């Protein structure tokens, strides 16, 4: 047996043993060590070259069985990794079947092209840099994407490189690559990153929502005190100069209350008063109002569907979305000439028709109304785009960064979704999706419409006022007495229940704070019902009506008013309770 045959036999046994080991590692999901593979591959190329030289130098070639050579080529071609050799000019000189299958090309075609033509354009500079260093170094590893099947699939691959030490013209100064398809691994990594990002965003939003909700509740209590005292000052003192000052206090308080409302919208606790409406009709009727937020240098156009776009939503919150989006679009254009367009279309979503949502709808099934607000402004980078719904984030020199931050809370309460497209210098497009499918009414708090002649109702009788903050109780008592009621004030629900049990006072209405120590508003309500008292109860809170349980919220003898409240609003809510109690 010749030296070539002995070398081939040894190499064959090594290769078979190694392939068995790699198969077992791959089956167990272990990390594959390709160092020995590269060594055997180099030896394999060397043996093949020696074989060719042996045949060329010998007039009578060794009569080695052809199956030995075929077996070596099979080991090379069907290894679990791709092999290729690239010469110093970058052309592919040799590949195995595994790599050809990865690249979706025939071996013949691959041997005629530069390797860089297979590489994704974004990865070519990385490859060039590493290729130059590989000419002098060994063991380099890079991750690149190469063109896959049918010239449209880009596969993530990991490349290992070693210098081939052969003197042959075809292989001299060539670089050997072993290439592993890690597409599946990359996909899993990306899915994990996306999942982590979503969980992180959810937890951050939840934490900020709780913080915003708590601040809003406490601040609304303070505003109730300011508003109540300012109103009483305005009523009691008719001096014109003092009236001017009190009106300034009340105006500022109302602005502060609106700001707190935005914080509650972000915290997903904003109040929803839903009704069936034609969104196209609402947008058309709001168009003149929206124009007031846009300078004359910017055109505002509307392209609305002619057919009705029936959705269930809170019209005021839809207007708020339109206003915030229009203002944001206008500010992105700035002092330049530009244009904003608002367009509506009916679209059908499904598993195969999803779009790139930043806020996903609760369900992708069925038809949706898409309201698209586009502008020709400065656009956004990916980093800025990823943060636009964060509270207090803004790229403007002025502003609170709360306008767009309120959008996700509003959209989620309407089971909708948001998609945003933007590039620097190419403008931005917000697409807001509302489901057109029928929603169950019980998903929403029951809202009672104003009864007739509420303004003429007599305001008299005894009101039980329960609030743990003395300043809030005092302000509320003054307003109730101004309306014409007698008032019994208590610091907690326990004392109020004790008063009901020990006196014969005929209480007409109980006005109770929702969150208090000892006995909160809900516990007070339940205790009343246990005692058989069908007493109308008006809940008041710095939170919204959504804090009430559904069964309590739907009770006709239950009302709700959000702090801060003024005399007019309080009178209206009490009047509704009186009418329902009489009926």
Q: What is the mean pLDDT of residues 554-562?
A: 87
Confidence of residue 301 (pLDDT cuts 50, 70, 90): very high
pLDDT of residue 60: 45
Whose CA is closest to 107, among 141, 77, 140? Answer: 77
Give me the mean pLDDT over the 403-408 stretch: 68
Residue 371 has pLDDT above 90, yes or no: yes
Is the model's pLDDT at 388 over the cut of 70? yes
Q: Which residues pair with 146 in a beta bridge?
A: 119, 155
Q: Is residue 409 assigned to a domain?
A: yes
- The larger pLDDT score, comparing residue 27 to residue 390, is at 390
Which pLDDT score, from 0 to 100, does residue 21 have?
Answer: 65
Do 502 and 521 reside in the same domain of the chain?
yes
Q: Taking CA 123 as the corner, what is the angle to CA 120 and CA 129, rounded to the nearest 5 degrees?
A: 135
**Which is more confidently placed, 13 or 458?**
458
Q: Which of 144, 163, 184 is the last residue of a domain?
A: 184
Residue 220 has pLDDT above 60, yes or no: yes
Radius of gyration of the chain (CA): 37
Question: Are 510 and 434 within one domain?
Answer: no
Give me the pLDDT at residue 448, please.
Answer: 38
* Residue 50 included in any domain: yes
Number of folded domains in the chain? 4
Domain boundary among 129, 160, 184: 184
Structure tokens at 208: 């900020």
- Percentage of residues of the chain with pLDDT beyond 90: 10
Average pLDDT score over the chain: 76
User: 111 and 198: one domain?
Assistant: no
Lowest average pLDDT, out of 53-57, 197-201, 543-547, goes to 53-57
pTM, to two decimals: 0.45
pLDDT for position 158: 58
Average pLDDT over residues 564-571: 87
Please tell me whether residues 477 and 557 are part of one structural domain: yes
Structural domain includes residue 565: yes
Q: Is 460 within a domain?
A: yes
**Cβ burial, residue 540 (10 Å; 0-12/13-18/19+):** buried
Whether residues 383 and 516 fall in one domain: no
Same domain flag for 310 and 241: no
Which CATH number goes with the domain that contains 489? 3.40.50.2300
Same domain, 347 and 460: no
Q: How many CB atoms lie within 10 A of CB 173?
A: 13
| 297 and 354 part of one domain | yes
At residue 467 the predicted structure's pLDDT band, cuts being 50, 70 and 90, is very high
Residue 449 lies in a domain: no
- Residues 48 and 127 placed together within one structural domain of the fold: yes
What span, in angstroms and rounded, lies between the C-alpha atoms of 8 and 78? Answer: 18
What is residue 349's predicted lDDT score, i.e. its pLDDT?
78
- Domain housing 211: 189-266
Q: What is the pLDDT at residue 547?
A: 74
What mean pLDDT is predicted for residues 232-242?
A: 81
Which CATH number goes with the domain that contains 78? 3.30.450.20
- 253 with 152, same domain? no
pLDDT tens by residue, 357-370: 877 777 776 788 99
pLDDT score recorded for residue 480: 92
Domain limit, last residue, from 443, 464, 484: 443
């Amino acid at each position: 047996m010749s030296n070539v045959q002995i070398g081939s036999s040894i190499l064959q046994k090594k290769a078979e043993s190694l392939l068995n080991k790699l198969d077992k590692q791959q089956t167990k999901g272990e990390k594959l060590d390709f160092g020995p593979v590269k060594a055997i591959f180099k030896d394999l190329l060397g043996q093949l070259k020696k074989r060719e030289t042996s045949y060329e130098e010998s007039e009578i070639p060794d009569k080695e069985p052809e199956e030995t050579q075929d077996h070596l080529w099979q080991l090379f071609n069907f290894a679990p990794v791709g092999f290729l050799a690239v010469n110093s000019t970058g052309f592919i000189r040799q590949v195995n079947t595994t790599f050809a299958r990865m690249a979706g090309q025939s071996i013949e075609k691959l041997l005629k092209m530069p390797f860089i033509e297979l590489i994704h354009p974004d990865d070519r500079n990385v490859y060039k840099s590493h290729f130059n260093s590989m000419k002098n170094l060994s063991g380099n590893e890079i991750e690149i994407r190469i063109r896959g099947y049918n010239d449209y699939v880009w596969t993530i691959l990991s490349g290992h490189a070693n210098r081939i030490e052969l003197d042959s013209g075809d292989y001299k100064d060539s670089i050997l690559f072993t290439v592993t398809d890690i597409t599946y691994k990359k996909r899993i990594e990306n899915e994990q990153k996306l999942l982590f990002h979503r969980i992180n965003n959810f937890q951050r939003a939840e934490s900020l929502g709780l913080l915003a909700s708590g601040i809003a509740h406490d601040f609304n209590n303070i505003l109730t005190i300011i508003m109540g005292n300012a109103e009483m000052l305005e009523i009691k003192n008719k001096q014109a100069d003092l009236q001017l000052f009190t009106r300034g206090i009340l105006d500022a308080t109302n602005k502060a209350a609106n700001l707190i409302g935005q914080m509650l919208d972000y915290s997903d606790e904003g109040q929803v008063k839903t009704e069936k409406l034609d969104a196209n009709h609402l947008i058309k009727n709001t168009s003149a109002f929206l124009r007031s937020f846009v300078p004359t240098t910017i055109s505002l156009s509307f392209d609305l569907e002619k057919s009705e776009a029936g959705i269930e939503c809170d019209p005021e919150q839809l207007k708020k979305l339109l206003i915030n989006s229009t203002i944001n679009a206008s500010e992105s254009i700035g002092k330049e000439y530009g244009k904003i367009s608002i367009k509506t279309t009916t679209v059908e979503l499904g598993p195969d028709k999803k779009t790139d949502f930043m806020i996903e709808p609760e369900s992708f099934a069925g038809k949706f109304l898409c309201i698209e607000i586009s502008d020709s402004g400065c656009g956004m980078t990916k980093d800025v785009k990823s943060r636009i719904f964060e509270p207090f984030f803004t790229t403007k020199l002025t502003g609170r960064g709360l306008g767009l931050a309120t959008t996700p809370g509003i959209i989620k309460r309407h089971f909708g979704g948001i998609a945003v497209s933007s590039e620097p210098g190419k403008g931005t497009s917000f697409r807001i999706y509302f489901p057109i499918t029928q929603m169950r009414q019980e998903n929403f708090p029951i809202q009672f419409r104003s009864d007739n002649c509420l303004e003429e109702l007599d305001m008299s009788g005894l009101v039980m006022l329960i609030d743990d903050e003395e300043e809030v109780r005092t302000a509320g008592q003054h307003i109730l007495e101004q309306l014409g009621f007698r008032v019994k004030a208590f610091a907690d629900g326990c004392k109020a229940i004790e008063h009901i049990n020990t006196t014969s006072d005929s209480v007409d209405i109980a006005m109770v704070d929702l969150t208090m120590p000892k006995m909160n508003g809900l516990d007070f309500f339940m205790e009343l019902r246990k005692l058989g008292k069908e007493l109308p109860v008006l809940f008041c809170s710095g939170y919204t009506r959504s804090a009430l349980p559904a069964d309590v919220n739907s009770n006709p003898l239950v009302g709700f008013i959000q702090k801060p409240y003024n005399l007019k609003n309080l009178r209206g809510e009490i009047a509704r309770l009186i009418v329902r109690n009489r009926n």
